[in-house]
């Protein structure tokens, strides 16, 4: 006959409530310290901005979403692009002024506009150096991080894991099975 474990369950529930409370307080404090935290309700609060204001980062985030729209992709992947562009703006006065001028050309409403309106606005500036620099940085940063890789099903480079040949290179489940005689020699 076993005794009921009510005191342990109550203690576990108390610890759980305490940890939830601490997490909520820490999230609020960290969120208040970073302007990007109000825009992205995920782990992207870790991106620290130095050159961009909250409005500029919101406009830039909407621009990046419009350039590379992916349903279900974690906002942290997009926030990394904003962080990279902010880092470029910190390093160079030319980049900072180009960024400020380009973002002001898009208007303060850009982040709240519908996607169709955002696309039209971006089409009018797509030949500008500002747009091209944001587009290139989006392609370079968004698609080279593990958050996006996981979303798209890319497992990363294969060299450190033994190469592609023995890791599913020839796993074609959608084709009919080929007889062994017609397959040719095995690589091993």
Number of domain units in the chain: 1
In a domain, 140, yes or no: yes
The answer as to whether 21 is a domain residue is no
Report the predicted TM-score, pTM, of the whole model to 2 decimal places.
Answer: 0.65
CA-based radius of gyration for the chain: 24
Residue 130: CB atoms within 10 Å: 19
d(CA 117, CA 110): 8
Structural domain range at position 139: 54-152
Q: Give the integer Cα–Cα distance in Å for 76 and 47.
A: 8
Q: Which of 53, 44, 85 is nearest to 67 (CA)?
A: 85
Note whether residue 70 is domain-resident: yes
pLDDT of residue 156: 82
Q: How large is the average pLDDT for residues 138-165?
A: 88
CA gap 8, 89 in Å, rounded = 54
Is 119 inside a domain boundary? yes
- Which of 21-35, 38-52, 133-147, 167-181 is modeled with the greatest confidence? 133-147
Token pair in block for residue 164: 């592609």
Q: Give a yes or no: residue 83 inside a domain.
A: yes
Task: Note the pLDDT tens digit of each residue in 78-112.
Answer: 999 999 999 999 999 999 999 999 999 998 899 99
174 is a domain residue: no
Looking at the domain assignment, is residue 182 inside a domain? no
26: in domain: no
- 126/134 Cα distance (integer angstroms): 10
């Amino acid at each position: 006959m076993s005794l009921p474990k009510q005191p342990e369950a109550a203690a576990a529930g108390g610890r759980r409530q305490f940890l939830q409370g601490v997490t909520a307080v820490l999230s609020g404090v960290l969120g208040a310290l970073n302007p990007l935290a109000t825009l992205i309700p995920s782990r992207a609060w870790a991106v620290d901005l130095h050159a961009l204001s909250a409005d500029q980062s919101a406009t830039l985030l909407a621009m990046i979403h419009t350039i590379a729209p992916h349903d279900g992709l974690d906002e942290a992947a997009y926030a990394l692009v904003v962080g990279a562009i902010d880092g470029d703006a910190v390093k160079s006065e030319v980049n900072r002024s180009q960024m400020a001028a380009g973002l002001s050309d898009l208007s303060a409403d850009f982040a709240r506009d519908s996607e169709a309106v955002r696309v039209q606005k971006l089409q009018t500036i797509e030949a500008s150096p500002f747009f091209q620099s944001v587009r290139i940085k989006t392609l370079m940063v968004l698609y080279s991080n593990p958050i996006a890789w996981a979303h798209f099903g890319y497992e990363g480079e294969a060299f450190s894991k033994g190469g592609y040949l023995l890791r599913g290179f020839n796993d074609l489940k959608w084709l009919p099975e080929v007889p062994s005689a017609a397959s040719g020699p095995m690589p091993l």
